[in-house]
Amino acid sequence: MDNEKNAKEKNELELANVRARKNTGLIQSQERRSVRAIRRNTMTKDFEFKKENLKIIPLGGLLEIGKNITVFEYGNEIIIVDCGIAFPEDDMLGIDLVIPDITYLEKNKEKIKGLVITHGHEDHIGAIPYLLKQINIPIYTTSLTAGLIQNKLEEHKLLRKTKIKVVQKGQTINLGKMKVEFIRSCHSIPDAVILAIHTPIGTVIHTGDFKIDYTPIDGETMDIGRLAELGNKGVVALLSDSTNSERKGYTMSESSVGEVFDKLFLNCSKRIVVATFSSNVHRVQQIVNSAVKMGRKVAICGRSMINMIETARELGYIEAPENVFIDIDMIKSYPDEQLVIITTGSQGEAMSALTRMAAGDHRKVEITPNDLIIISATPIPGNEKLVSKVIDDLMKIGAEVVYSALADIHVSGHACQEEQKLMISLVRPKYFIPVHGEYRQLVAHSETAKKVGVDPQNIFMTTNGRILEIGESGARLTGTVPFGRILVDGLGVGDVGNIVLRDRQHLSQDGLIIIVIAMDSSTGEIISGPDVISRGFVYVRESENLMDDVKKTVKEEIQKCEEKHITDWTTIKTALKENLRDYVYQKTKRNPMILPIIMDV
């Protein structure tokens, strides 16, 4: 019996051990599955919540006026906002245009989803043809801006190759992981928009050029409600126009200029010539309105003005009776009191229509004392002397001239400080980036942002080429990308650099002396010459003695080379330039460019 009892207990113990091992294995298996599940969940959470940084890279428009272009890059996708030109500075002799360096975009062209344009001014669209010649990408913009871009592309024979998508204000377009919303804005040209760029890390707002006008000519007020709505939802960053950031108060409404035009046109028996920016369609509309009220015909002068008005009329942005506009060739068929001429040249540009009229060189319009000239613009910084000269020349002819110092015939298209405060208060961005301005303007805009509560640590005063990265952990300036300016001279793009500009400046200031010598290459003996040709240095007939002395100096230097058995022409040329430069400076205190030419005989 004892044996049977022991065997039964032993079996029960073994069975209990087996059950325990099974339970332990089950628990371990469950633990392993739990660990694997936790790991999977952790990996899924990392995959779901770890986002890449948004890169904001301005390639132009900072610390300068013009050449506006900004890159928004998220992951492997890029959106470009605007692509404009800048006008050459005084020391850029012979240069027609300045465009941004797009080396970074060329290296990353497979990432680019599209080019988005805020409005149709040259400093925002002028460089598009040069970009498209290197990278073929679609363009997204509003109606009038699209029409102006089409005109440019047609001139460059790029229209058929380019896709231009017209976007309505209030519409949102999908460009990969980023979406761009077009928000109605106000500026000195119709169809200007503010861009809300919706990215995986949040919404970024780019204002483009803007002002807050409650009584715009076309009735298209800024969509302040939508900006406030986006502000309530949360805006990561605001890039805002800084042009008028140094001016206090508000910018006057464009409609206020129309009242001034009406007063000037009323009871005026003279022919009226109005110069303004060709792109200011609202201004042109008000000039036309005043002309219609007073029963005057309107003629257009200046190629850019003609192109702009034709495009605006075709798209319905300028409204006027059909018989109001006449060809410029028909102006002699009408008495002065029935004519208005709208022209370019409000900035005193050298070849503009108004400048040629003032100089008496215009083929179709001759200014007389019976003309009232209205310059409906203020001089862009740097153009003051040019504008003053045109005004003086017009007054010397006897014409009556009205300009911004005498009447309120111009208002800006850019926001002043109080409007900038309203924009920041509506949007309430986490990060603020002042754009579109020179350094002092960016500083002033930063100070305005601080006054309305933006954390100074969240204001980024960046520069062209700097990368601003914004992510979940914050924002910081990181590296740089290639940037700069490409000079356009005629059909040449980028073939004029600092060395060429320096030579042009040297020639313009000091002139040129060319030394021509025919030599026997084997003996180094002078066969003929030296002949001396001077341009922009001295008038040869009145300085024959100086030229004779130059020839004598050249002969003496070549004789020294012969005595030293120097036959290398490069060495001879260098010696000629150095010694002749010293001699000429000693005699004249001038430093002309010296160019020796040695011919082998």
Catalytic residue among 101, 213, 241, 371: 241
The CATH number of whichever domain residue 350 belongs to comes to: 3.40.50.10710
Quick check: 290 and 339 in contact, CB under 8 A?
Answer: no
Q: 207 or 409: which carries more pLDDT confidence? A: 207
pLDDT attached to residue 8: 53
- Cis peptide before 530, with omega less than 30 degrees from 0? yes
Quick check: 446 and 461 in contact, CB under 8 A?
Answer: yes
Final residue of a structural domain among 384, 402, 420: 402
Cα(86)–Cα(96) distance, integer angstroms: 10
Q: 256 or 89: which carries more pLDDT confidence? A: 256
Please report, rounded to a whole number, the percentage of residues in the chain having pLDDT higher than 70: 87
- Do 334 and 241 share a structural domain? no
- Do 259 and 239 share a structural domain? no
Catalytic residue list contains 156: no
* Residue 407 placed within a domain: no
Three-state DSSP at 3 gives helix
Quick check: 397 and 368 in contact, CB under 8 A?
Answer: yes
The tens digit of pLDDT for each residue in 331-370 reads 999 999 999 999 999 988 888 999 999 999 999 999 999 9
- Do 58 and 46 share a structural domain? no
- Do 272 and 223 share a structural domain? no
Q: DSSP of 23-40, one letter per residue?
A: HHHHHHHHHHHHHHHHHH
Q: Which residues pair with 534 in a beta bridge?
A: 513
Strands 593-600 and 512-519, by their bridges, are parallel
* Residue 503 placed within a domain: no
The CATH number of whichever domain residue 578 belongs to comes to: 3.10.20.580
From residue 271, alpha-carbon distances to 287, 332, 389, 430 in Å are: 14, 11, 22, 55
**What band does 541 get if pLDDT is binned at 50, 70 and 90?**
low
Rounded to two decimals, the pTM is 0.81
Catalytic residue among 124, 414, 436, 445: 414
Strands 325-326 and 297-301, by their bridges, are parallel
Quick check: 579 and 552 in contact, CB under 8 A?
Answer: no
Cα(504)–Cα(507) distance, integer angstroms: 5
* Residue 4 placed within a domain: yes
CA atoms within 13 A on the CB side of 291: 28
Q: Mean pLDDT over residues 107-121, rounded?
A: 96
The tens digit of pLDDT for each residue in 255-296 reads 999 999 999 999 899 999 999 998 899 999 999 999 999 999
Final residue of a structural domain among 429, 457, 489: 489
The tens digit of pLDDT for each residue in 186-224 reads 999 999 999 999 999 999 999 999 999 999 998 999 999
| Other CB atoms within 10 Å distance of the CB of residue 566 | 14
Catalytic residue list contains 414: yes
Cα(211)–Cα(459) distance, integer angstroms: 22
* Residue 506 placed within a domain: no
* Residue 123 placed within a domain: yes
Quick check: 78 and 52 in contact, CB under 8 A?
Answer: no
| Other CB atoms within 10 Å distance of the CB of residue 318 | 19
Please report, rounded to a whole number, the percentage of residues in the chain having pLDDT higher than 90: 62
* Residue 495 placed within a domain: no
Residue 243 reports pLDDT greater than 60: yes
- Do 527 and 458 share a structural domain? no
- The first and second tokens of residue 309, run together, are 């008005």
Looking at the 3D structure of the chain, how many domains does it have?
4
Quick check: 94 and 495 in contact, CB under 8 A?
Answer: no
Type and span of the H or E element at 520: none
Cα(516)–Cα(505) distance, integer angstroms: 23
Residue 48 reports pLDDT greater than 60: no
From residue 164, alpha-carbon distances to 73, 147, 527 in Å are: 21, 10, 66
From residue 427, alpha-carbon distances to 109, 179, 260, 431 in Å are: 32, 18, 35, 11
Residue 570 reports pLDDT greater than 80: no
Quick check: 475 and 101 in contact, CB under 8 A?
Answer: no
- Do 218 and 113 share a structural domain? yes
- Do 441 and 340 share a structural domain? no
DSSP letter (8 states) at residue 86: B
- Do 311 and 262 share a structural domain? yes
Cα(122)–Cα(415) distance, integer angstroms: 19
Cα(240)–Cα(110) distance, integer angstroms: 29
Cα(68)–Cα(239) distance, integer angstroms: 12
pLDDT attached to residue 510: 78
Find all residues with CB under 8 Å of 145, minimum gap 6, and list them: 117, 119, 120, 125, 191
Find all residues with CB under 8 Å of 85, minimum gap 6, and list them: 66, 67, 97, 98, 99, 122, 123, 126, 127
| Phi, psi of 370, deg, nearest 5 | -95, 25
**Range name among 354-358, 409-413, 453-457, 535-539 with the lowest pLDDT average:** 535-539
* Residue 498 placed within a domain: no
- Do 211 and 262 share a structural domain? no
The tens digit of pLDDT for each residue in 55-74 reads 999 999 999 988 999 999 99
Quick check: 151 and 52 in contact, CB under 8 A?
Answer: no
DSSP3 helix / strand / coil % (the chain, rounded to 5): 40, 25, 35
For the chain, the average pLDDT equals 86
* Residue 28 placed within a domain: yes
- Do 181 and 94 share a structural domain? yes
- Do 477 and 455 share a structural domain? yes
- Do 32 and 14 share a structural domain? yes
- Per the structure, the complete domain to which residue 324 belongs is given by 255-402
Type and span of the H or E element at 1: none
